Amino acid sequence: MSAESKVYDERMMKTIEVVKSNFAAVRAGRANAGVLDRIMVEYYGTPTPLNQVANISSPDPRTLVIQPYDASLMKAIEKAIQTSDLGINPQNDGRVIRLAFPQLTEERRKDLTKQVRKYGEEGKVALRNIRRDAMEDFKKMKKNSEITEDDQKNLEKELQDLTDKRCKDIDDLTAKKEKELMAV
């Protein structure tokens, strides 16, 4: 892989990481601490990620237990979960907060599958935008006589192959997440 393409590959890998984190936030009927990654808790006036102010454990496949390091955060954590798009009502017993994940209905599974496909498609659009930026950069380099026309063609082919490979990676991740959602 050429040095020019490496820069764009790194950007594409970051895009894939964003898609993975979006997929992790999609609730798949079983308890997964990844769904809490986006939840921010007001901690001494500063929005702080939930996983930095509490211990999160999963005693069984359908339950998450959140134990704050500072007991005064109970109400703030409870409020943050209620106002999030998680759709689960937290149960506060004074020491820990429990999140019980209900079994997903068929309709909800289909909705989540659509959401996963949307995230996957957004990721592929981002990859294509990176490819477009790269192609423009290669054309500028050719225009400024930094590379030859053959070099430009080779770089463009290399970049197209890389884009195809990364799009397939996103398709594979999407298919895996859809399979996870549809499993009963």
Beta bridge partners of 99: 64
In this structure, which amino acid lies at residue 45?
G
Model pLDDT, residue 88 = 78
Model pLDDT, residue 123 = 94
Provide φ and ψ at 99, rounded to 5°: -120, 115
Q: What is the pTM of this model?
A: 0.69
How far is Cα of residue 174 from the mean position of the Cα atoms in its chain? 11
Model pLDDT, residue 27 = 66
Model pLDDT, residue 44 = 85
- Which domains does the chain carry? 3-24+105-182 (1.10.132.20), 33-100 (3.30.1360.40)
Cα–Cα distance for residue pair 15/126, rounded to 1 Å: 7
Tokens of 139: 């054309």
Give the pLDDT means over successive 10-residue stretches in the chain (184 positions). 82 91 74 78 86 86 86 86 80 86 80 90 94 92 88 91 94 90 74
Cα–Cα distance for residue pair 176/171, rounded to 1 Å: 9
Reference 80, options 69, 89, 93; nearest CA is: 89
Tokens of 45: 């006036």
CB under 8 Å to 107, separation ≥6 — which residues? Answer: none
Other C-beta atoms within 10 Å of 45: how many?
6
Beta bridge partners of 43: 46
What are the tens digits of pLDDT across the range 100-134? 877 778 888 888 889 899 999 999 999 999 999 99
Provide φ and ψ at 46, rounded to 5°: -120, 130
Cα–Cα distance for residue pair 67/97, rounded to 1 Å: 7
